[in-house]
Amino acid sequence: MLCASFALVAEPTSKRRPHVVIIGGGFGGLYAAKTLRRADVDVTLVDRRNHHLFQPLLYQVATAGLAATDIASPIRKIIGRNPNTTVLLAEVLRIDPAQRRVELHGELPPLDYDALIVAAGVRHDYFGHPEWEKYAPGLKNLEDAMAIRSRTLLAFEHAEREVDPARKAAALTFVIVGAGPTGVEMAGAIAEIARQTLSGDFRRIDTRSSRVVLIEGGPRVLASYAPELSEKAKASLMDLGVEVRLGERVTLVDERGVQLGSGERINAETVVWAAGIAASPLGAQLGGETDRLGRVKVAPDLSVPAHTEIYAVGDLIAMEQDGQALPGVAQVAIQSGKLAAQNALARLQGRATTPFRYTDKGSLATIGRKRAIAQVGKLRLSGFLAWLLWLFVHILFLIGFKNRISVFINWAWAYFTFQRGARIVLTEGAKNDRP
């Protein structure tokens, strides 16, 4: 039955309505599909995972604050009832712009398209050192989050039974590389786990003596924020006991920890990578120019200049606005996904397309309990008020009523008890546990 559905999609374009293929079920792809739900076209959304992930809260899964199901929703549940939309669980093998065709892994028939919207996002980048990934996982999907959660919680277990002082110290040392929003939020959350959540749970170690080190190559944390907010974020991190190392470069990551450009060695059992990203390799297959990060240089209407039926959105686009590169945030993905869908439909109908103009609705980052910063236009907030705004905005944009209720309850419980409700480490996650 599934193959029959594919074959129908792959029929020659003259025998069917215009066919729009969307690659990726993140914010960009999801909002593109929603925009086309009433259009006179057939839509196929392809993703190798069956769920949409609310990326801004992924770090809370990695730090045991939320369960995976709290921030993920099945793609079929979100858009599967759109009468013109087919959702395919598949992985894209290659894109052939000349033939207007998307080839899939396995024995699945290819998808021919009249318009293609690529929202494939980004992946981790280790600056030419892919071998570092196994020692310092990044945070882009639920698998990453569960792996980091396991490493973090098991590190305390290793320290509890370790008799060698040096190895005990390494088990209680956590290094986060990169002080963007993900790195800052991870550092603050791990510090709270050590100093609040796990305090008193162990008999042979004092988790409050744990060392959390945040390493940033630039001159300040959260460099995309106003300097005064960066300073407040740094102060909040230091109040939590986080060591903030600015202007430091990591030159080596191995099974024992990291080495810095200054020559200093930090032995740590847990290293989290939040320093670099690169665009999906699919960006290089769209027949256009790419920048050094693999992002696609698009026309003002988000189309690929050499193939105007192809659109790139979200983190995949290399575009400047008012002399500044567009940030890799959810709002860029949402807004570009909507416009790409509108422009694809306009071009199919012979109408003029519209240039993309990003509307910055503000930026928020949390450092920990009652600590956050907010930048909305000229408004600058920090502390408890910014934290309340952060809570409200993230619940508001979370997809799924059940998820909103679950997250709200978890946060309320954590606020009053200082506990985290997702501390279970499954056997699969603990398979590399030391004997």
CATH of the domain at 165: 3.50.50.100
Same domain, 160 and 251: yes
pTM summary value: 0.89
Same domain, 294 and 157: no
Same domain, 177 and 286: no
Q: pLDDT tens digits for 90-102?
A: 999 999 999 999 9
In a domain, 358, yes or no: no
Same domain, 115 and 151: no
In a domain, 323, yes or no: yes
In a domain, 28, yes or no: yes
CATH of the domain at 303: 3.50.50.60
What does the pLDDT read at residue 419?
86
Instruction: State which of 275, 303, 324 marks the end of a domain.
Output: 275
The low-confidence residues of the chain, meaning pLDDT below 50, are: 1-13, 428-435
Same domain, 154 and 267: yes
In a domain, 311, yes or no: yes
Same domain, 190 and 318: no
What does the pLDDT read at residue 433?
47
Same domain, 108 and 179: no
| Catalytic member of 185, 192, 216, 248 | 185
Residue listed under structure tokens 């909507």:
338
What does the pLDDT read at residue 140?
93
Q: pLDDT tens digits for 392-422?
A: 999 999 988 999 999 999 999 998 988 887 7
What does the pLDDT read at residue 15?
59
In a domain, 379, yes or no: no
In a domain, 83, yes or no: no
What does the pLDDT read at residue 10?
45
Same domain, 175 and 263: yes
Tell me, yes or no, if 231 is annotated catalytic: no
Same domain, 145 and 246: yes
Question: Residue 145 belongs to what domain range?
Answer: 130-275
Instruction: State which of 225, 246, 275 marks the end of a domain.
Output: 275
Instruction: State which of 308, 325, 348 marks the end of a domain.
Output: 348
Q: pLDDT tens digits for 329-355?
A: 999 999 999 999 999 999 999 999 999
In a domain, 363, yes or no: no
Same domain, 220 and 306: no
In a domain, 381, yes or no: no
Same domain, 106 and 152: no
- Domain count along the chain: 2
Same domain, 271 and 288: no
